Amino acid sequence: MQFAPEPHRRIGHNYPSFLSPHPPLMALNKPTRYLLLALGILLSLHFLLSATHEPYSKATSLSSLSSVWTKDKPKYSDTAIPAHPEFDPPPKWATGGVGGAANATRANATFVMLARNSDVNGAVQSIRSIEDRFNREYGYPYVFLNEEPWTDEFKKRISVLTKAPIEFGVIPHDWWFQPDWIDEERATQGRKKMEEQGIIYAGSVSYRNMCRFNSGFFFKHEMLLKYRWYWRIEPDVMFHCTLNFDPFVYMEKQKKTYAFTIALYEWAATIPTLWDTVKNFIKENPTYVAANNAMGFLSENNGHDFNMCHFWSNFEIADMDFWRGEIYTKFFEYLDKTGGFYYEASCSRWGDAPVHSIAASIFLPKDKIHFFNEIGYEHPPNQHCPKDDEIWKKGMCGCDQGKTHDYGPYSCQHQWDRIFQ
């Protein structure tokens, strides 16, 4: 059966359109009509939103749309200082890249800095330096320790320098201040005597607190307990070479325990009470002495006298499990109970530098101690700058090789070298 089209539905008609019995829209076919209707609704919505919502109006204005098409140049041409740091690409360590967090070879390690609030400028300089030469690519965390609460100013100026996690800790009172059982009169006498001899820091009680804390307590701080490895950093130090490797991972893989960059000794004649105390401890605990130790670094006569050689502990990368272990715990307690940190000479002999150095050199086999030649490092007035041209170039070291401390007049590098010959 055929359907004849009804006359009023016919599209092809005979009268002119203005005489059409239907409105113009109705003159179009069905899909076109719906399309135009939808367009109309959209346009009405656009005008309504433009009139009532400013952000919408701005975003859809012709001028802003044209910038998309004409690809306006960015306002900031200096890409080294991004205008909006939050839009930086994430650092490699955060995405599991070079030494990254997701990288299985990453060490359980942290930086640690002991400082005062007044050290803020020096602390900023040191963190900028280590971030620039190493940590920007690795993101190891930082722990800052102080016997006083940190100021907002210190925290603010440090926090802005790195994307790595940072903790600001306070030292428990008894780990810092002079213990009650110390005879203050004797301690005062000791300080006076040293001052008369013109020994640096001789009159300073806080310096002795610092030496004792660094010798026996920092690694027990609750913020450090979760870590095995630490890298000690002080305010006002500089790192002169870019590190193309992760020193923490190196220590772990090579089974090292303690690492240094500068070895030096004191010329000053001293009362050898530290060494006598050490020798007494060894006599009482002969089994603690390691086979193949580094006694040859500390002494010219097989341990009879101390030659004053020590590792400069303002730089240290080490395994805190060694300080936390039985041998060092007993050793530190033995030294501490003599009161030597407060009664005896200057910190340079009863400080963390000789105390750590002596312990590492006697209670560890010598091949557990490592000299990091690649780490250009400066704590004024001394610096280690790699003498080897290849290492110097590879690390893009900016330091003056002629000024390296390595074999200078106060250096103990020879004593270090000789124990491996």
| Residues with catalytic roles | 316
122 binds Mg ion (CB under 5 A): no
235 binds ligand GDP (CB under 6 A): yes
- 116 interacts with, out of Mg ion, ligand GDP, none, CB within 5 to 8 A per kind: ligand GDP
204 binds Mg ion (CB under 5 A): no
Q: Pick between residue 234 and residue 367 the one whose CB is nearest to Mg ion.
A: 234
Side-by-side strand order, sheet with 316-319? 166-170, 142-146, 109-114, 229-232, 316-319, 258-260, 369-371
Q: Pick between residue 234 and residue 367 the one whose CB is nearest to ligand GDP.
A: 234
Q: Pick between residue 256 and residue 384 the one whose CB is nearest to ligand GDP.
A: 384
308 binds ligand GDP (CB under 6 A): no
Which residues, 6+ apart, have CB-to-CB distance to 327 below 8 Å? 285, 288, 359, 363
Which residues, 6+ apart, have CB-to-CB distance to 300 below 8 Å? 307
Q: Pick between residue 50 and residue 117 the one whose CB is nearest to ligand GDP.
A: 117
Q: Pick between residue 162 and residue 314 the one whose CB is nearest to Mg ion.
A: 314
By three-state DSSP, how is residue 152 classified? helix
Q: How far apart are CA 405 and CA 255, in angstroms?
A: 27
Which one of 91, 100, 110, 119 is in contact with ligand GDP (CB under 6 A)? 119
Q: What mask of x and - would describe binding to Mg ion in positions 79 to 108, judged by CB under 5 A?
A: ------------------------------
Least distance from C-beta 377 to ligand GDP, angstroms?
Answer: 13
Q: What is the 3-state secondary structure (H, E, C) of 67-95?
A: HHHHCCCCCCCCCCCCCCHHHCCCCHHHH
Angle formed at CA 221 by CA 216 and CA 222, multiple of 5 degrees: 155
Rg (Cα) of the chain, in Å, rounded? 35
114 binds ligand GDP (CB under 6 A): yes
Which one of 195, 234, 367, 417 is in contact with Mg ion (CB under 5 A)? 234
Q: How far apart are CA 61 and CA 74, in angstroms?
A: 20
The answer to whether the CB of 126 falls within 8 A of the CB of 97 is: no
Least distance from C-beta 114 to ligand GDP, angstroms?
Answer: 4
Residues of this chain that bind ligand GDP (CB under 6 A): 114-116, 119, 146-147, 206-207, 210, 234-235, 314
Site residues (CB under 5 A) for Mg ion? Answer: 234, 314
